[in-house]
C-alpha cells in the first residue's frame, strides 16, 4: 500500500461573506477585492513649508573659560625642586672649594667622626637636626644660601651611614 501524505490544514486566503455571489475572476495583484470594504480616505496632508528665503546667516559663538586643573603633587614637587637655586646649590655643595674639599665631603667627614667618637645614635641625631634646620630655613626664606645648606646637610648626612646599620637595626647583632 502506497504511503499517503498527511492531510494539511486548510488555510483560507479569502473569506467571501454569505449571500454574496462569487467573483468571476480572482483579484489582480494590488487590486482590492469587491467584497472588502474600501479603506477610509486618507486625511489631507499639510502643505510643506516653503523653503526659507536666502539671506545672511548669523552664527553666535560663546566661549567659556575652561578651568585649568591643579597639577599633581609630584609635578608641584618637581617644580619646587628643579630650579636654578637647586642647580646652583648642587654645584656649590659638590665643588671642592673649601681647602680642596667640597662642603658635602666636609659635612660627611664631620658626621662620620661624630659616629666614631660620640656614638651611632648621636651621629644620626646631629645629621637629622642639621637636615631639619636647613629644610626649615629653606622653606621659610626661599633663598639660594639656605638651599645650599639643605643640599650640603642632606648629601653629607650619608657619611653617618654604615653598611652594617640595617643588619644591626634588624637583628641587634653588633660587629
39 located within any domain: no
The set of cell numbers assigned to 137 is 630655613
For residue 153, the Cα-to-chain-centroid distance in whole angstroms is 36
Give the per-residue pLDDT at 74. 85
Could you read off the pLDDT of 19-72 as tens digits, one per residue? 777 778 877 888 877 667 766 788 888 888 888 788 888 889 999 998 888 888
65 located within any domain: no
4 located within any domain: no
- pTM of the shown model: 0.52
Domain count along the chain = 1
5 pLDDT exceeds 80?
no
HSE at residue 59, side-chain half, CA atoms within 13 A, is 2
Give the per-residue pLDDT at 103. 94
Question: 13: pLDDT confidence band, cut at 50, 70 and 90?
Answer: low
Q: Which domain holds residue 95?
A: 81-171
Give the per-residue pLDDT at 154. 93
DSSP3 helix / strand / coil % (the chain, rounded to 5): 45, 0, 55
The set of cell numbers assigned to 113 is 667622626
15 located within any domain: no
87 pLDDT exceeds 90?
no
For residue 88, the Cα-to-chain-centroid distance in whole angstroms is 34
Q: What span, in angstroms and rounded, lies between the C-alpha atoms of 131 and 157?
A: 8
- Return the higher-pLDDT residue of 90 and 78: 90
- Contact yes or no for 123/112 (Cβ under 8 A): yes
89 located within any domain: yes
- Contact yes or no for 150/139 (Cβ under 8 A): no
98 located within any domain: yes
Could you read off the pLDDT of 73-84 as tens digits, one per residue? 888 887 777 778
86 located within any domain: yes
Amino acid at each position: 500500500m502506497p504511503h499517503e501524505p498527511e492531510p494539511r490544514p486548510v488555510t483560507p486566503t479569502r473569506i467571501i461573506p454569505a449571500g454574496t455571489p462569487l467573483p468571476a475572476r480572482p483579484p489582480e495583484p494590488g487590486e482590492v477585492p469587491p467584497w472588502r470594504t474600501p479603506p477610509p480616505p486618507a486625511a489631507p496632508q499639510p502643505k510643506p513649508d516653503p523653503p526659507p528665503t536666502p539671506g545672511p546667516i548669523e552664527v553666535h559663538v560663546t566661549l567659556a573659560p575652561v578651568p585649568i586643573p591643579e597639577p599633581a603633587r609630584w609635578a608641584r614637587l618637581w617644580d619646587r625642586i628643579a630650579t636654578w637655586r637647586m642647580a646652583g646649590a648642587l654645584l656649590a655643595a659638590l665643588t671642592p672649594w673649601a681647602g680642596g674639599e667640597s662642603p658635602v665631603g666636609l659635612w660627611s667627614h664631620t658626621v662620620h667622626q661624630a659616629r666614631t667618637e660620640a656614638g651611632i645614635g648621636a651621629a644620626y641625631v646631629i645629621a637629622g637636626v642639621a637636615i631639619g634646620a636647613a629644610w626649615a630655613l629653606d622653606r621659610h626664606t626661599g633663598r639660594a644660601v639656605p638651599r645650599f645648606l639643605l643640599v650640603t646637610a642632606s648629601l653629607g648626612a650619608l657619611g653617618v651611614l654604615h653598611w652594617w646599620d640595617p643588619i644591626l637595626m634588624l637583628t641587634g647583632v653588633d660587629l
